[in-house]
Structure 1
Amino acid sequence: MENMECDSSPLQDQLTATMRDIRDDLNASIDIVNEENNCLLCKLEDIKKKCLTMEAIASSFYLECYLSAYTDKYSEIARCTLHLSQNNHGALIVIERENSLEGLIQKGISLGAQLTAPLLESIFYPGNPLHDGAVLVHGNTIISAANVLPLTAQNITGKKLGTRHRAALGLSEISDALVLVVSEETGRVSFALEGALYPITNVTSLQ
């Protein structure tokens, strides 16, 4: 992951509090590990859940950091993502960053339109001919829609990934692009960056 400066936010406070909570739980677990009458399994399961929460909160916080330097339309993207998630409308949104994606994706339909939340939502509305592919965003512009991305060859143990998620990972493995994914099945939001997939804790926090 690259280095960047992020402004303090409620999410950052939540992340710090969760990390401290996990630290305290671990310290307490160390103190009782040799006590015969105590079983740590339930406590460890609780710590595991808190670690997953910590990851999701961190993803929400850093997503804005990764996007803010490359588009002024973060709030529009966040609003669109929230609405898509609430309606279980699948989506794949590629934000081009430093490196050109020329030659890395199969081009779809050129748009060259100013990025707005309603336009993004309409593209991914079920039945729209463009909704199955990926939208390509550069700066504040939707460059194209219905783009086809390369699929990852990763075999991620314990995770069943759909085509959108495999496509997001695939492009992030060969470029510095950030790829947002909304699951059509669950409405869950995640983003792919540098070959890894990160869940978003609560899409309302993106606004």
Structure 2
Amino acid sequence: AYETKQDGQRVVVYLPGDGSVLLRARSGQDITAAYPELAPLAAALGDTPAVLDGEVLALDERGRADFQLLQSRMGLAHAPGRAAHRAARVPVHLVLFDALHLAGCSLLRTPYADRRGRLTDLALNGPSWSTPAALVGHGEQALRATREHGLEGLVCKRLDSVYEPGSRSRAWIKIRNMRSEDVVVGGWLPGKGRLGGLPGAVLVGQRAAGRLRYVGG
């Protein structure tokens, strides 16, 4: 199966079925308070307990994921007031792509195709979350479509693959669309977490009309 590769923050979503929601980052950190607009997801699911896998995105004016926009929302789990203020200016969208537990049963050893089917049956598509379809077959066309729309690429998953927490499975392969540009490095931002003490990102520009125009980081 082929899924669009997203450019956001990976999250595991815990929905115990009591109206609450808990979001954990890949590190295990509780980041629920950073994304208050995702709280209504619990009501959308109802009283069925579930643990879901997904990615939080910030979308630009063209509807494409923009990690630089998302960075203004990340790291605010300790400051719910600031998070709510930023949510009004930079809303996020949660893309769901796997179900790990459902109705008290673990799905970790269940084949991907069946897990995906169970997730689709939940019909979780709302104002701030969605369950995009996975494409079976037609991989070449799918990759071409991501290039034409300026997307990151594809994640290719074996239909019979189990879920392997905390590891990079050989049954899931990322294909990235690589684009190159000639740019000038004009600055850098300090790294966080594993990149603490190192540059976390470089700020780059291109020369235009005798000036250096910022194009991203």
TM-score (norm 1): 0.25
RCO higher in structure (CA 8 A, sep ≥6)? 1
Comparing both structures, which one devotes a greater share of its residues to helix?
A: 1
TM-score (norm 2): 0.24
Comparing both structures, which one devotes a greater share of its residues to strand?
A: 2
